[in-house]
Amino acid sequence: MIRSMTGFAASEHQYDFGRLSWEVRSVNHRYLEYSLRLPEEFRVLEPAVRDLLGRFVKRGKIDATLRFHEMAGRAGGGVALNRELAARLLEIHEDLGKMAGSEHEPDLLALMRWPGVVAEQLPDPAPLHAAAMNLLEQAAADLVGVRAREGEKMAAMVRERLDGVTTLTEQVRDWLPEIRDALRTRMNERVADMGQNLDADRLEQEVAVLAQKMDVDEELDRLDAHVAETRRTLEREKPVGRRLDFLMQEFNRESNTLSSKSVDQRTTQAAVDLKVLIEQMREQVQNVE
């Protein structure tokens, strides 16, 4: 089963702490590339997000966006007093008062502003991070499903074009004996028009040489082999996009040779039709994972 590199999936859920939503898009690319957009409190998850997506997708450009809408009135982590530091500052205040020979009550507001005396306690991010990763896994699985369904349509189109290639190669094979006979007839007619007598063996040798130059049996056999290999490749479970792309190059090479060897309008047209089918397949396999 082949998979497309194009797809879209989204997942969203309301939690006690707020709403999380993922959007994951993929398009074709030669390799696997990520573009991640995460809220600041989720930036630490970037390596884990890449690893997770890499388990589901092997090729393509992946755009993943996470949105977080915090629940209104959500309780924060609060603040905490650094008692050790505060006690030390009060001792210093008392010592300074004794040294100056005067006593003043400590300015508590000033002490609270002293760096480190009062520290904000942030809420535990672990539940948010775990929820985000679970939700991303759902989106990634949905994305694979979308790419697989698109891949089924692409595979059906490619198989249809492969049927067309097989039909054309069979037609050319059927035409070859007739084309060879027509070549011999034309050669005899040209010799007769020249008014010269050529040895029959020499004439047969010339016909054989021309027949050898226009022989396309090997090209037709290779086209059949490429059709069979492409059909097998379409059934593989692992990513096969690069292999299919290589096979399209081989198809194109054989169709070019068939065209260059053509001495008959029918085989020339068959070569053109082959090129059209191959180009249609090539456009599709460019988007195969």
Domain co-membership, 83 together with 198: no
- Which of 120, 137, 152 marks a domain boundary? 120
CA distance 287 to 289: 7
Domain co-membership, 95 together with 214: no
Q: What is the pLDDT of residues 45-63, one digit of tens each?
A: 999 999 999 999 999 999 9
Q: Decide if 251 contacts 161 (C-beta within 8 A).
A: no
State which amino acid sits at residue 143: L
Domain co-membership, 249 together with 185: yes
CA distance 12 to 132: 10
Judge whether residue 77 has pLDDT over 60: no
Judge whether residue 204 has pLDDT over 70: no
Q: What is the pLDDT of residues 113-166, one digit of tens each?
A: 888 888 766 567 889 999 999 999 999 999 999 999 999 999 999 999 999 999
pLDDT band, residue 73 (cuts 50/70/90):
low
Residue pointed to by tokens 């994972």? 289
Q: What is the pLDDT of residues 210-221, one digit of tens each?
A: 655 667 888 899
**CA atoms within 13 Å, Cβ hemisphere of 126:** 1
To the question of pTM greater than 0.85 for the whole model, the response is: no
Domain co-membership, 247 together with 104: no
Judge whether residue 226 has pLDDT over 90: yes
At residue 12, the 3 state secondary structure works out as strand
Domain co-membership, 3 together with 101: no
pLDDT band, residue 194 (cuts 50/70/90):
low
> Which residue would you say has higher pLDDT here, 153 or 101?
153
Per-residue HEC secondary structure of 23-69 comes to EEEEECCCCEEEEEECCHHHHHHHHHHHHHHHHHCCCEEEEEEEEEE
Return the structure tokens found at 122.
């942030």
Total number of domains constituting the chain:
2
> Which residue would you say has higher pLDDT here, 217 or 205?
217
Which residue range is the domain that position 1 belongs to? 1-75+126-289
Give percent above pLDDT 70 in the chain: 85
Average pLDDT of the segment spanning 187-202? 61
Q: What is the pLDDT of residues 5-27, one digit of tens each?
A: 999 999 999 998 899 999 999 99
Domain co-membership, 113 together with 212: no
Judge whether residue 75 has pLDDT over 60: no
CA distance 286 to 36: 24
Predicted pLDDT at 161: 97
Predicted pLDDT at 105: 83
**CA atoms within 13 Å, Cβ hemisphere of 11:** 15
Q: What is the pLDDT of residues 237-260, one digit of tens each?
A: 889 999 999 999 999 999 999 888
Domain co-membership, 166 together with 107: no
CA distance 194 to 187: 11
CA distance 264 to 181: 12
